[in-house]
Structure 1
Amino acid sequence: MAVARVFKLVKRFEGFPKEDDLKLVEEKLASPKEGEILCNTLYLSVDPYMRVFVDDLPLGSTMIGEVIARVAESKSPDFKKGDLVASFQGWTSAFLTTADKAAKITHLPEGVPESVALGTLGMTGRTAYFGLLDVAGPVKSGETVLVSGAAGAVGTVVGQIAKIKGCRVIGYAGSDQKVEMLKALGYDEAFNYKKVDLSETLGKAAPNGVNIYFDNVGGNFSDVVLMKHMSMFGRVAICGFISQYNNKSDDTSKGEILYGSILAKELRVRGFHEATYAANAEKKKEANEQLAEWVKQGKLKYKETVTEGFENAAKAFVGLFTGVHHGKAVVKV
């Protein structure tokens, strides 16, 4: 009988998450029945969206999230021992699941770490792909693309895809080190938002306005962009609002002042979820294959921060909100 280590939600997050909001326990797993697979987790994902979605979980629930795992035992004709799979099992070191709740990973190019299937070649990569090309598209060569939270898992990919499409790309991040990383990834302009005046720098970097704004942060940053720096008929893809995740509900920016700017410049503003697009098997296959091809061609580089040890998952999660990670944050089990 297998034993899994599992992180359980034991306290509600109040403001910034704390490590002791989660508790590490052990659970016994039964042997797989017909149609089931037993898997050992290799890597688990930590993502900002978890801060919001966890509010709907009952206390005592397994912490949510996607994992990359190896099949240890299979009673399903669709999987064999040793297959690499992705599954939304939450923070667990091993799990028993049905075949329909795991996706076989076959698109990783040779030599690419398995962990990248959680990032650039996984959900966050597809988020960048769909958000830029479908939600904010069509993307035209020569357009100016602005990315907030540009050094994060999604932002690092968005900027590179925009460059592949021939755009001028501007990014903002929270440290000088992250700014240098963005420049190394091909960003035309990159700024430390903690050290510069947003409106002044953006006015100089995009004097004709921003055609596409890929928004990962929300809050005052986005207020300034939408009110002052979008071009006529600009497009805004709202991927996240991390600046607001740890606020109380009555502290969040309500943004009524933005309607005038949206109307005056005829902006297209749209929120989206990767899952909406990935639910279409053909769309998901298209994104996976194109992202993998760009990686093989050297056009798309992956950036990740790997935390060693399953027991350090809570620490890695808290680090999302203190700016310690570069690119995709994953935990190696």
Structure 2
Amino acid sequence: MKQPDEGQVLVKVAYAGVNGGCETFRVRGSSYTPFAANQKSQHFTLGAEGSGIVAAVGLGVANLKVGDSVTVGGLGSGAFGEYVLTSAQGCFKVPAASAEAVVLTLSGLTANVALQATGGPLQKGQTVLVTAAGGATGHMGAQLALLAGCTVVATCGSNKKAQRLRALGIHRVINYREEDVAEVLRREYPQAIDIAYEGVGGALRQAVLDNLSPNGCLLSVGYISEYPHVKPDIDEGDKHSSNGSSATGQSDSDLPPAHELFWQRQVIKRGNQTLYGDVWSGADRKDIPRYRQELFDLHAQGKLQAWVDEREFVGVESVVDAIEYMLTGEAIGKVVVRMP
């Protein structure tokens, strides 16, 4: 096994998180993503987030020692393995290597940076809409908005998810399988959505934009309703995303397609409204550790829940099954693989 070079650490992975957008597009090497070169490569790392125990340290590493619990996070962290070799700076020391720590590492951090820096800071009394609120980053965003004193509206796709969200104190939960989201927003929140934390895309994104306040913002954290497992990939000749599509199926030419907004990290002004494809754009790199620490502190104080889906996956060989399960939309919270 390769030992760490100067400034590196070797981490024995205990838990790895499934990040569907990163991992599925990384494997496919879709041409419109940063992973296009993977189409011609046989070697690239997978596993965007994990927690584990430091097994070895390289020269010059003073902040970590063998036996420390850490998290690793980032698109190339390589957490889908029994061990990962990474920079010491890329590790975050935690009290214990746990599945909950994985939830906070990337999914939680994304929500905190997006809502507090890029689209925020959140203000008491604002109305915040969170789509896919039963998912890994959605339930984080919903709780952060609640903690800030916002009115929180959440969408999800099952009664089980709706019950969990209501138990958090969410003000309005919309199960899109039972209610028309666009109609509920028009009736109950006409142009009153100040911030939308949006990860679904398609007609739901249009419904959100139709009810966004004149000075509101939309933070795009994905577009799972349009991912290749739902519709053919653009690379395969399907041009379904070439134009913005409204809830009525009509073209909305002033909107960038969901995949362009997200992967090209666009920031679009639409009058006084702002659409963020890069939800990290509002934070300086040096401030990221502070946003991460804030999350772990809130969790340690019992103010923030980190949901781990109840279905168990064990070992590297279960990663494919874990990703496929996450893409079904049935998971509540983060899908995590335990490494034996």
Which 10-residue stretch deviates more, 160-169 or 290-299?
290-299
Alignment partner of 2:69 out of 84, 89, 95:
84
Alignment partner of 1:259 out of 251, 254, 262:
254
1:237-252 counterparts in 2 under 5 A?
237-246=219-228, 247=231, 248-249=233-234, 250-252=239-241
Alignment partner of 1:160 out of 125, 143, 146:
143
Note if 1:294 corresponds to 2:298: yes
**Aligned alpha-carbon RMSD (Å):** 2.5
Q: Deviations over 1:219-244 (max 9, x none)?
A: 11111221x31122111111111111
Alignment check: 8 A CA contact 1:223 1:258 kept? no
Q: Which amino acid is 2:184 matched to?
A: T
Deviation (angstroms), 1:277: 6.7
Q: Which amino acid is 2:25 matched to?
A: V
Q: 1:277 to 1:99 in 2, by over 3 A?
A: farther
Q: 1:82 to 1:244 in 2, by over 3 A?
A: same
Partner SS state of residue 48, structure 2? coil
TM-score by length of 1: 0.80
Figure out how many residues of one structure are paired with residues of the other and give that number. Answer: 295
Q: 1:277 to 1:312 in 2, by over 3 A?
A: farther
Partner SS state of residue 327, structure 2? coil
Q: Which amino acid is 2:102 matched to?
A: L
Partner SS state of residue 328, structure 1? coil
Partner of 1:280: 285
Partner of 1:53: 26
Partner SS state of residue 254, structure 2? helix
Alignment check: 8 A CA contact 2:219 2:275 kept? yes
Alignment check: 8 A CA contact 1:219 1:253 kept? no
**CA distance in 1: counterparts of 2:320 and 2:305, whole angstroms:** 27
Q: 1:219 to 1:298 in 2, by over 3 A?
A: same
Partner of 1:319: 325
Deviation (angstroms), 1:145: 0.8
Partner of 2:118: 135
TM-score by length of 2: 0.78
**CA distance in 2: counterparts of 1:163 and 1:183, whole angstroms:** 12
Alignment partner of 1:105 out of 81, 93, 106:
93
**CA distance in 1: counterparts of 2:6 and 2:299, whole angstroms:** 38
Query: Which of the pair is proportionally richer in strand?
Result: 1
Alignment check: 8 A CA contact 1:215 1:237 kept? yes
Deviation (angstroms), 1:129: 0.7
Which 10-residue stretch deviates more, 297-306 or 181-190?
297-306
Q: 1:135 to 1:278 in 2, by over 3 A?
A: closer
1:18-57 counterparts in 2 under 5 A?
29-32=1-4, 36-50=8-22, 51-54=24-27, 55=29, 56=35, 57=38
Q: 1:197 to 1:104 in 2, by over 3 A?
A: closer
Deviation (angstroms), 1:265: 5.9
Partner of 2:217: 235
Deviation (angstroms), 1:203: 2.5
Partner SS state of residue 81, structure 2? coil
Deviation (angstroms), 1:323: 1.4
Alignment partner of 1:117 out of 96, 101, 104:
101
Deviation (angstroms), 1:113: 6.3
1:187-226 counterparts in 2 under 5 A?
187-207=170-190, 209-226=192-209
Deviation (angstroms), 1:156: 0.4
1:2-17 counterparts in 2 under 5 A?
none
Q: 1:292 to 1:75 in 2, by over 3 A?
A: closer
Alignment check: 8 A CA contact 2:49 2:79 kept? yes
Alignment check: 8 A CA contact 1:146 1:214 kept? yes
Task: Please list every run of 5 or more consecutive structure 1 residues that lacks an aligned counterpart in the other structure.
Answer: 1-28
Alignment check: 8 A CA contact 1:189 1:205 kept? no
